[in-house]
Structure 1
Amino acid sequence: MSVEKDSKKRLFIGLITGTCILLCLFLASLWYVPYVGISAFGSWASWILGVIVTILILLVGWAYLALLANVVLGKTFPFSTKARGLTIKLFLPLMTILGRVFGLSKRKIRASFIKVNNELVQSKAGTCDPDKILMLTPHCLQNSRCDMRLTYDVDNCKRCGLCTIKGLLELRDKYGAHFAVATGGTIARRIVVQKRPKLIIAIACERDLASGIQDTYPLPVFGVLNERPHGPCLDTQVSLIAVENALRKFIKAEKLPVDAEKNVGMTPLSGL
């Protein structure tokens, strides 16, 4: 598992390094090309343009160094909280384009982005009361043969144990966090507006997690990848241990239940 995490981290570093270099070259060209013909307006015009472009390059470089320091060294630079926003809004789309040029799948690129986003969120979000945390899951975690409607009320679940919804409800009851099931981005955004959490623990595939992280920024989102033994969007599963570990990372120590070391929801997923 650690080897896989290290490979994701190396992939992220490689892609963001290439993206940063290309972006800086592009910004530099915005100064160099007009410089050749802008001299007719006076030397001051080219200098002003050069200063503006230099500032932009320094800002991109600072964001890159802040991310690199956080990912590799676990250290933070001043104003490095803005680096996560720049990564989400600017670097990720460019990283995807660059990765595709080198034949890397979007899934790998997104998984790499989610891994690093989680580290940034963990280093910056701190801890909070459990009722300020929202566990948000897609409806595909629900057993496809179940006719209970959970989107508007997860407590409609009969807790039969045929899917991981039962275990997630037990985690909600144990820790006191909110839990909701969404069928799409629009409903997910409505749930976030209603619950007004300080942090979201989102369970989804790479594509939905990456887009969800982008949509909800600056609200911190800690992503937990689902498991797809039957293919995408059908009877998906999630490691309850991974979700519980995520809850324990962000809940204040004094708010943790006394039996928090015990695993819950480990009923075998029979019938899937």
Structure 2
Amino acid sequence: MSQEPLIRRSRKRLFIGLISGTCFVFCLMLAALWIVPYVGLKSIHPAAAWVLGALVVFFICFVSVAYWGLFLNIILRRPLPGSRRYRGLTVKLFLPVMVLLGRAMGIDKESIMLSFISVNNELVLAEAGRYKPEEVLLLMPHCLQNSKCDRRLTYDINNCVRCGKCPIAGLLDLHDKYGVNLAVATGGTVARRIVVQMRPRMIIAVACYRDLASGIQDTYPLPVFGVLNERPHGPCLDTTVAHYLLEEALHRFLKPEYLEGKTPGSGRIISTAQGTRL
């Protein structure tokens, strides 16, 4: 029996636990802003404490609504009103506090980031529409390229001779088959420049958990569906990726008229990986 559903459920539970703790911490902090200076505010104006209290209650309600919206979005796995805003709050507000809270609880950063990527993917699946091939970008890390290869692929992916010694040949097969954009980045700065130049509406990105998490944050509000790479030789060296995960993602995010006659799994299998299944 595949372990991937168990892994996804475990990551989802961790994310929900951390986001619940984060929401509670925010509410405590906001409540403290009212309680601590309460006595001193009377000297400013008799109504000052109540005005501040009303603002605190408003922000507590805002955080609580955001939390429950995000929680229901994760559990129901379907778009809800304001789902994009919920993903934005997760990316910009909750994640940094979740990391701090997780560290205080002895949870390693990798587990937190993996849970964030897993939940982000589910939110993207729920909110994203379908796009034309030219609106979709497959963004790959440079470490997929064979370390002994002297071809420069960062600025022109077509420099690859498709020798089959690394996953790039299979990625070019997907590029040719579906007509989507394909690019290789050496790091976050280059990746951001590629996104600015190509201006996609949807990104399917492959990377390690650190780069995926930071990339999702950097490119918001663009939807980014993340697929983890495999690192059989360690970080940043001759990594691999599951071809079938990328092809399944393309079948989810491309418009149906561009998928006619194209069946998943008919291309070259790069490898197997513990990525995020659709």
Q: Work out whether the TM-score is over 0.5.
A: yes
2:229 alignment partner in structure 1 = 226
Does the 8 Å CA contact 2:18/2:101 hold for their aligned counterparts? yes
Is 1:126–2:126 an aligned residue pair? Answer: no
Change (3 A) 1:83 1:231: same
Matches of 1:72 and 1:100, distance apart in 2? 25
Q: How many residues are treated as equivalent by the alignment?
A: 269
2:13 match: secondary structure: helix
CA apart distance, 1:75: 4.3
Identity %: 58
Which of residues 97, 100, 115 is equivalent to 1:97? 100
Match for 1:240: what amino acid? H
Which of residues 133, 136, 159 is equivalent to 2:162? 159
2:199 alignment partner in structure 1 = 196
Q: TM-score, length-normalised on structure 1? A: 0.96
1:170 alignment partner in structure 2 = 173
Is 1:237–2:243 an aligned residue pair? Answer: no
Change (3 A) 1:77 1:249: closer
Which of residues 31, 39, 42 is equivalent to 1:28? 31
Structure 2 spans left out of the alignment, 5+ residues: 273-278
2:276 alignment partner in structure 1 = none
Match for 2:251: what amino acid? R
2:109 alignment partner in structure 1 = 106
Match for 1:69: what amino acid? L
Matches of 1:164 and 1:197, distance apart in 2? 23
CA apart distance, 1:111: 0.6
1:179 alignment partner in structure 2 = 182
Does the 8 Å CA contact 1:161/1:268 hold for their aligned counterparts? no
Does the 8 Å CA contact 1:66/1:76 hold for their aligned counterparts? no
Does the 8 Å CA contact 2:202/2:224 hold for their aligned counterparts? yes
Which of residues 72, 75, 78 is equivalent to 2:75? 72
Matches of 2:271 and 2:120, distance apart in 1? 31
1:218 match: secondary structure: coil
CA apart distance, 1:130: 1.2
Superposition CA RMSD, Å: 1.4
Does the 8 Å CA contact 2:241/2:271 hold for their aligned counterparts? no
Does the 8 Å CA contact 2:244/2:264 hold for their aligned counterparts? no
Q: Counterparts of 1:79-90 in structure 2 under 5 Å?
A: 79-90=82-93
Match for 2:201: what amino acid? K
Is 1:263–2:266 an aligned residue pair? Answer: yes
1:57 alignment partner in structure 2 = 60
Q: TM-score, length-normalised on structure 2? A: 0.94
CA apart distance, 1:260: 2.1
Name which of structure 1's ranges 161-170 and 251-260 shifts more when overlaid on structure 2. 251-260
Which of residues 117, 140, 143 is equivalent to 1:140? 143
Matches of 2:118 and 2:20, distance apart in 1? 17
Does the 8 Å CA contact 1:69/1:76 hold for their aligned counterparts? no
Q: Counterparts of 1:6-25 in structure 2 under 5 Å?
A: 6-25=9-28
Is 1:41–2:44 an aligned residue pair? Answer: yes
Instruction: Return structure 1 stretches of 4+ with deviation > 6 angstroms.
Output: none
1:216 alignment partner in structure 2 = 219
